[in-house]
Amino acid sequence: MIDRLGKHPRLLRWVALGTLAAMTLVMAGCGALRDDEGRPLTTLNPRGPQAQDIDDISTPVFWVAGAVFVLVEGGVLFLMWRYRRRKGDQDGVEEPVQVHGIPRLEWAWTIAPAILLGLMAILNVRGIWKLEERDADALNIEVYGQQWWWEYRYDVDDDGAPDIITANQMVIPAGRQINLIIRSNDVIHSFWIPALNGKKDAVPGRTHEWSLEADEPGTYQGTCTEFCGLSHAYMRMEVKAVTAAEYEQWLEDQQQPFTPPEDATPDETDDDSLELAGYKEFLSQCAQCHQLNGIDYDKNETDGTPDPDYGGEIDEETGFARMPLTSGNAPNLTHLMSREKFAGNLFDLYTEDGNEGERQVNESNLANWLKDPKAMKPMAPDENRGMPNLNLTSDQIAALVAFLQTLK
Ligand SMILES: [Cu+2]
């Protein structure tokens, strides 16, 4: 092939140009580096000290490796050109000068890379140590990887028991270091918010600590980066960094207990309000998986009497509600509507295109989810993974969607 091209310099030129054009197109994929330009998962745009530490390693390494590349490839190309086959050359007639070796040169190209690698090692080890440092006032947040969403637990009063349990969107105060305590409830996942730090695996039976911090308020996207089954690619998350005051407010709001909807027309008719009807559906269809803080179906309930309203399966031995999911859990819905998205941070809970751009609840997303979750995000309910299709009627769905909207 090369031989034939060599005989057709024109053709060779075209092949070279074509390759160059194709490479240019490929490299264009590295174009926009800013997350507001539609590449939320770039590591090249650090927005916090930990991500900056990593950038401070990769930038010099890139330039050093780039210089080595240019030198070595340049040398190869130069030698190819300098000693190319010329017109009139005859194979095997003139033997090239034979050299055994040039010790000085060989020492040089052994020692120079060793020094370079030594310098990079210092950079790397220093970076690893830096990433392990924690501020004295670092805020602990527990992170649980689940098939296929993330749960966060906040222990506000430091008594060892979580006071806030939420999903997918992690709210943090900007400018304060967060110490993540990462675990998994099923298989190996990996937590990664590229603008704020590198990846850390969530491994069943192990606890991994990791940190992150956002310099400025904003939202920072992430995704699970360890293949964890069917919906791995749909296991997204985000960190929402807010001001210290907003964070205090958020803590307060999230600790508000669940309040069941009141019957809008208690005396006039026997009919429940739509919200109340939805709440009753919730107790019988959803509560065995989804927690609403403070209602009485908790399997750890200590007074021994399961809620009579609870319609799920009761374990005869303990008298408590059974938790049928192997993954052990489903998102806590107490303050569902305080989040932006649901189901692995994929689907909008709100739309902007209501009247005059007003923010409205995206009821159709919620209704579609209740109708057939698997149609929106692959699930494996036969293996007790993910949310099952409960074959709800459209009336049940309408009531549930009305009820879910009360979960502010
Ligand atoms: Cu995962």
Q: What is the pLDDT of residues 4-23, one digit of tens each?
A: 666 777 888 899 999 999 99
In a domain, 382, yes or no: yes
The continuous run of DSSP H or E covering 189 comes out as strand 189-192
| Domain range for 336 | 274-404
User: What phi and psi, each to the nearest 5 degrees, are found at residue 36?
Assistant: -80, 0
pLDDT category of residue 372 using cuts at 50, 70 and 90: very high
Number of separate domains in the chain: 1
CA of 42 relative to ligand 1 center, distance in Å: 19
Q: Is residue 244 part of a domain?
A: no
Lookup: tokens for 372? 């057939």
Q: How far is the CA of 146 from the centre of ligand 1 (A)?
A: 7
Residue 44 within any structural domain of the chain? no
Element (DSSP H or E) covering residue 44? none
How buried is 321 (Cβ within 10 angstroms: 0-12 exposed, 13-18 middle, 19+ buried)? buried
3-state secondary structure of 71: helix
Give the model confidence (pLDDT) of 206-243 as tens digits.
999 999 999 999 999 999 999 999 999 999 999 999 99
Q: Cα of 295 to ligand 1 centre, how many Å?
A: 29
Within-domain flag for 380: yes
Rounded distance from Cα 173 to ligand 1 centre (Å): 25
Per-residue tokens: 34: 């800013």
pLDDT in tens, 61-104: 999 999 999 999 999 999 999 988 888 877 777 777 888 888 99
CATH number, position 382: 1.10.760
Q: Residue 91: inside a domain, yes or no?
A: no
Cα–Cα distances in angstroms (integers) from residue 147 to residues 25, 186, 225, 346, in the given order: 37, 7, 13, 14
- Look at residue 297 and tell me if it is in a domain: yes
Q: Which residue has the tokens 């967060």?
A: 178
State the distance from the centre of ligand 1 to the C-alpha of 227, rounded, in angstroms: 6
pLDDT tens-place string over residues 12-53: 889 999 999 999 888 877 665 555 556 778 888 899 999 999
H/E element holding 382?
A: none
Whether 298 is covered by a domain: the verdict is yes
